[in-house]
């Protein structure tokens, strides 16, 4: 009975119901859009950062990231290739070899990080060819050619066609020394990396450092970021079966790009601050309109109590009004939120100036349609509306019948 009366009361005072509903509806839509926008933007940043630089997953010797060494390598690469090829969700992979060294061009010298890569696989995995700002990528196979980071080229005053000499130490204890012609200059988006980057074809790097058939790292990209935990587990099982010594580690980007991951998590905390603000706005709006409704309808509540209505039933009636209105606004808000998020997922928003994050520049930001961008606002808004509705409901239940009918 009280539920039926509550439903009728919502439509009896349309103006008041509309004002309350707009507050709830606006809070829900803003929350749904902001969460979708936040998730979409962060996932774009994560995907671009990892896909263009580190990969989503990496395979190393277990302690390589903590204590890198020329001797901590990965072998059996043909078998590893088969594992990646057969693992569902894996998009591409690229082997890499690293070693510090001294690079000289003419009379200029500088410390560098020598990186051996497979040009074809690196291009598929991290779009290496898109980073070349001058010259070209060296051809596959052993060649005496190099691609140099923009910052390192500037330090050495190097240009396309110059010869660069490397001095380092090979894995067998010999001196690693050779000359390479500069065929390309690249820009990764990270100035610190570009001041050290000196790329060689992986076969040339193996020959230089006496590491035939071995690498230090395999970077893997996946088709969907949400599949990373499952793919990591699958690769761990397959690689453990291949490597009986269990010396290899398969790690997601959150581990080997920890600083970037922490920065992203700190930024995401802002979403919860926004939700708190929205919840307060909704709460104040609902409290104001419901309380005014109770004060305007004191005579009505007095009559209900005079005919024997219990205080608990009045509380139930007021709370039912708030809940029905809130649920209705949430359903309408879901439709509007879906349209809004779909538009910005499809078209995105082009920033007037590129945003720099983690050494990467982003021009277009996009939203994302996911479950949490709707169930979190729904729970938040419903909770806020119900909680603040308790006080007016109790006030209505405490109405004095004689006094309310005499003064109204």
| Each residue's pLDDT tens digit, 298-327 | 676 677 667 777 777 777 877 887 888 888
- Closest to 231 (Cα-Cα) out of 372, 83, 60, 63: 83
| Rounded CA separation 170/209 (Å) | 4
pLDDT tens-digit series, residues 137-161: 887 766 889 999 999 999 999 999 9
pLDDT at 22: 81
Strands (E), 212-282: 217-222, 248-252
This prediction's pTM: 0.75
pLDDT above 60 (res 357) = no
Angle at which helix 311-346 crosses helix 372-397, to 10 degrees, equals 160
Report the share of the chain in percent with pLDDT over 90.
Answer: 36
pLDDT above 80 (res 180) = yes
pLDDT at 12: 66
Q: What mean pLDDT comes out for the span 341-368?
A: 74
User: Taking the alpha carbons of 74, 136, 359, 127 in that order, is the dihedral positive or negative?
Assistant: negative
CA dist 17 → 117, 245, 280, 317, 386 (Å): 65, 69, 19, 15, 15
Strands (E), 170-314: 175-186, 197-201, 217-222, 248-252
Q: What mean pLDDT comes out for the span 332-352?
A: 86
Angle at which helix 372-397 crosses helix 298-306, to 10 degrees, equals 70
Q: What mean pLDDT comes out for the span 227-235?
A: 93
CA dist 1 → 317, 370, 377 (Å): 9, 38, 30
pLDDT-based confidence at residue 115 (cuts at 50, 70, 90): very high
Q: What mean pLDDT comes out for the span 97-102?
A: 94
Q: What mean pLDDT comes out for the span 342-364?
A: 71
pLDDT above 90 (res 113) = yes
Q: Decide: helix, strand or coil at residue 144.
A: coil
The 8-class DSSP code of residue 201 comes to E
State the chain's maximal CA–CA distance in angstroms: 105
More confident residue, 288 or 136: 136
| Rounded CA separation 341/34 (Å) | 9
Break the chain down into helix, strand, coil percent, rounded to 5.
55, 25, 20
Report the share of the chain in percent with pLDDT over 70.
Answer: 84
More confident residue, 257 or 276: 257
pLDDT tens-digit series, residues 36-94: 888 888 888 888 888 888 899 999 998 898 889 999 999 889 999 999 999 999 999 99
pLDDT-based confidence at residue 281 (cuts at 50, 70, 90): confident
| Rounded CA separation 314/297 (Å) | 12
pLDDT at 317: 78
More confident residue, 379 or 282: 379
Copy the structure tokens of residue 24: 């709830």
pLDDT-based confidence at residue 34 (cuts at 50, 70, 90): confident
pLDDT at 401: 67
pLDDT at 118: 92
CA dist 248 → 93, 210, 251, 260 (Å): 16, 21, 10, 23
């Amino acid at each position: 009975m009280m539920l039926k009366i509550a439903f009728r009361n919502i439509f009896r005072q349309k103006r008041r119901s509309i004002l309350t509903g707009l507050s709830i509806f606006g809070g829900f839509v803003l929350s749904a859009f902001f969460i979708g926008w936040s998730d979409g933007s962060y996932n774009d940043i994560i995907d671009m950062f990892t896909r263009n630089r580190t990969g989503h997953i990496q395979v190393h010797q277990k302690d390589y990231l903590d204590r890198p060494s020329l001797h901590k390598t990965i072998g059996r690469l043909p078998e590893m290739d088969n594992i990646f090829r057969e693992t569902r969700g894996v998009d591409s992979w690229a082997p890499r070899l690293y070693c510090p060294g001294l690079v000289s061009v003419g009379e200029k010298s500088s410390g560098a990080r020598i990186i051996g890569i497979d040009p074809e696989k690196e291009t598929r995995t991290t779009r290496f060819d898109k980073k070349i700002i001058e010259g070209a990528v060296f051809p596959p196979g052993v060649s005496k050619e190099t691609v140099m980071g923009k910052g390192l080229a500037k330090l050495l005053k190097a240009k396309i066609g110059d010869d660069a000499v490397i001095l380092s130490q090979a894995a067998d204890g010999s001196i690693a020394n050779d000359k390479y012609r500069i065929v390309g200059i690249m820009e990764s988006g990270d100035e610190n990396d570009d001041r050290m980057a000196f790329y060689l074809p992986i076969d040339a790097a193996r020959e230089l450092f006496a590491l035939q058939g071995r690498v230090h790292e395999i970077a893997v990209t996946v088709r969907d970021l949400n599949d990373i935990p499952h793919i990591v587990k699958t690769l761990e099982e397959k690689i453990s079966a291949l490597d009986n010594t269990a010396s290899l580690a398969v790690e997601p980007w959150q581990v080997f790009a920890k600083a970037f991951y922490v920065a992203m998590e700190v930024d995401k905390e802002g979403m919860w601050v926004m939700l708190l603000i929205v919840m307060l706005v909704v709460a104040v709006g609902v409290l104001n309109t419901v309380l005014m409704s109770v004060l305007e309808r004191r005579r009505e509540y007095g009559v209900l109590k005079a005919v024997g209505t219990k205080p608990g039933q009045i509380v139930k009636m007021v709370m039912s009004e708030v809940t029905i209105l809130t649920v209705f606004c949430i359903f309408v808000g879901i439709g509007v939120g879906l349209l809004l998020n779909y538009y910005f997922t499809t078209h995105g928003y082009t920033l007037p100036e590129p945003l720099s994050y983690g050494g990467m520049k982003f021009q277009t930001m996009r939203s994302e349609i996911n479950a949490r961008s709707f169930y979190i606002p729904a729970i938040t808004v419903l909770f806020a509306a119900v909680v603040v509705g308790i006080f007016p409901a109790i006030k209505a239940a405490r109405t004095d019948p004689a006094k309310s009918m005499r003064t109204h």
